[in-house]
Amino acid sequence: MILEIINASLLAATPILLAALGGLYTYHLNVFNIALEGMMLLGAFLGVLGSYLSGTWVIGLIFGALGALGAGAVFAFFAVYLKTDEFVTGIAINMLSLGGSTYALRQMFHVKGAFIHPDIQSLPLWNLPFFGKLPWLSFAALGLTALVWIHLYRTPFGLRLRAAGEDARAADSAGLNTARLKIRALLLSGALCGLSGVFLSLGYVTLFAENMSNGRGWIALAVIILVRGNPLNALLMALFFGFFDGLGLSLQKVNIPSQFTQMLPYLAALAALYFYSRTKRKTL
């Protein structure tokens, strides 16, 4: 029973964790990146597209990651080069990938709502002791968390990133190229969100549905803010949301309307925000 819960939590936590890892880069650079949701959705769509066209999940993974990286590049072009407001750029990217994927769903596959096809190959499952059977990207995400931590806190790049986030002008006058750092951080966050999307469409399920990210990108954003940018705590927080997501699924067997159990992760986010604000008040 407990192992089942761990399994379900990790499964639901993976997309949130991956997107949150992506968002960490921009968080530390003080870029208001609210495009996580959109990049994730784009990754999910392109993952299915690549897997469908080639018949292998490898191409799907590459498509998804590169496509979302492209969205990060568009973000960087507008926000860094044209100096468009980050909030506005993020909203526009979200709408662009929501509209774009919905449009492409009809234009390429001639379906509305969802695309399911036997040619779509999903991510291979690994069966590890304790965790149980999961798509391999779930385990990779755990490893990535450690890598991102090292990248942010133990490499020159991470130091520069955090310094530029702390005070961009000071960093600039110390000879760092803040604009280039921003572009890199946005590309990294795009690629990671792309992986998160691929996990959704090729791991969690094997299909693409309109707006299938369904707020997970926003939850990832909440995770980042709540853990103040620490990757290891982000892992715990993602598991916390994953737990409520999984809990919703198991509670459906009990006689509670499924709509209320589906609310749980979002209400959990509100609760987490409440506790976060309380501790923040104390420290101030």
Q: Does 109 bind another protein (CB under 8 A)?
A: no
In this complex, which beta carbon is closest to another protein, that of residue 253 or of residue 281? 281
Residue appearing with tokens 């530029």 = 164
Contact 161, 152 (CB under 8 A): yes
> 30's torsion region: left (phi>0), alpha (psi -120 to 50) or beta?
left
Contact residue for another protein among 94, 122, 138, 196 (CB under 8 A)? 94
Phi, psi for 154 (deg, rounded to 5): -130, 15
Show the DSSP H helices in the chain as ranges: 2-28, 36-54, 57-76, 86-109, 136-153, 156-166, 168-173, 178-199, 216-227, 231-251, 258-283
Q: Does 225 bind another protein (CB under 8 A)?
A: yes
In this complex, which beta carbon is closest to another protein, that of residue 68 or of residue 137? 68
Residue 46: CB minimum distance to another protein, A: 15
In this complex, which beta carbon is closest to another protein, that of residue 54 or of residue 262? 262
Residue 206: CB minimum distance to another protein, A: 23
Q: Does 92 bind another protein (CB under 8 A)?
A: yes
In this complex, which beta carbon is closest to another protein, that of residue 4 or of residue 85? 85
Q: How far apart are CA 227 and CA 125, in angstroms?
A: 30
| Tokens (6 digits) for 182 | 């921003």
Q: Which residues does 110 contact at the CB level (< 8 Å), separation at least 6?
A: none
Residue 274: CB minimum distance to another protein, A: 6
In this complex, which beta carbon is closest to another protein, that of residue 81 or of residue 153? 81
In this complex, which beta carbon is closest to another protein, that of residue 105 or of residue 185? 105
Q: How far apart are CA 228 and CA 241, in angstroms?
A: 16
Query: Residue-wise over 83-95: b if at least 16 C-beta within 10 A, else e?
Result: eeebeebbebbbe
Q: Does 222 bind another protein (CB under 8 A)?
A: yes
Q: Does 250 bind another protein (CB under 8 A)?
A: no
Q: Does 228 bind another protein (CB under 8 A)?
A: no
Contact 60, 49 (CB under 8 A): yes
Positions 21 through 80 that interact with another protein (CB under 8 A)? 78
Positions 155 through 214 that interact with another protein (CB under 8 A)? 214
Contact residue for another protein among 57, 218, 241, 243 (CB under 8 A)? 218
Q: Does 107 bind another protein (CB under 8 A)?
A: yes
Contact residue for another protein among 88, 116, 147, 232 (CB under 8 A)? 88
Instruction: Look at the alpha carbons of 192, 194, 197, 199 in this order and tell me if their dihedral is positive or negative.
Output: negative
Q: Does 82 bind another protein (CB under 8 A)?
A: yes
Residue 111: CB minimum distance to another protein, A: 11
Q: How far apart are CA 284 and CA 270, in angstroms?
A: 21
Q: How far apart are CA 53 and CA 119, in angstroms?
A: 8
Give me the residues that bind another protein (CB under 8 A), please: 78, 82-85, 87-89, 91-96, 98-100, 102-103, 105-107, 214-215, 218, 221-222, 225, 257, 259-260, 262-263, 266-267, 269-270, 273-274, 277-278, 280-281
